Amino acid sequence: DGAEDRGLELGDAEAFENVPGQGIRATVDGRDVLVGNRTLLSNNGIDTAPAADTLERLESEGKTAMLVAIDGTLAGVVADADTVKESAKAAVSELQERGIDVMMITGDNERTARAVAEQVGIDPDNVRAGVLPEDKSDAVEAIQSEGRRAMMVGDGVNDAPALAVAYVGTAIGSGTDVAIEAADVTLMRDDPL
């Protein structure tokens, strides 16, 4: 949408590949394009150092910054941000007042995760960042192996295994069908309160 708003022509992606926990690779108009995190680009021999300051600034704002490389050369940074729901801070606060530890398990990097956790009042020690999609259920199981009961709240395909292993899996009603199917409880609205 952003490219079209700027009047840019978009080529079709071919040979599209999802690299779990890292990003995507595709061929666009005969050029090799990578969009993802530092690991994806580094694993492909691309120096990410020129973008370090930009990445740090965006991540400190709670945004997920993705590097873009074209034909093996760093081309830019694209950032997006999940909008924190206005009621999220109040929901976290209410749970904490009831003596419940609120944790965040996310694939985002440490800096972005901590910025978001700070916005909603989650203790930085309760943030598990950089968790690969396939490892979210392991993270929930690790919490439960300490003799605790975990309630996992999620809305995406990557959350489904963790929702299934949690003592109580809670899906957000506006989420994916897979998350809703894996959960014990589905919130009919997307308001955490």
**What's the pLDDT tens digit per position in 67-76?**
999 999 999 9
pTM listed for this prediction: 0.69
pLDDT of residue 39: 92
What's the average model confidence in pLDDT over 19-24?
87
- Of the given ranges (52-56, 78-82, 167-171), which has the lowest mean pLDDT? 78-82
Q: What is the pLDDT of residue 7?
A: 93
**9, 64, 74: which is closest to 44 by C-alpha?**
74
Tens digits of residue pLDDT in 118-127 = 999 999 999 9
- Percent of the chain having pLDDT more than 70? 100
User: Are the beta carbons of 8 and 1 closer than 8 angstroms?
Assistant: no
Tens of pLDDT, residue by residue over 77-114, are 998 877 788 899 999 999 999 999 999 998 888 888 89
Mean pLDDT of 49-66: 89
State the average pLDDT over residues 49-72: 91
* Helix, strand, coil % over all residues of the chain, rounded to 5: 40, 25, 35
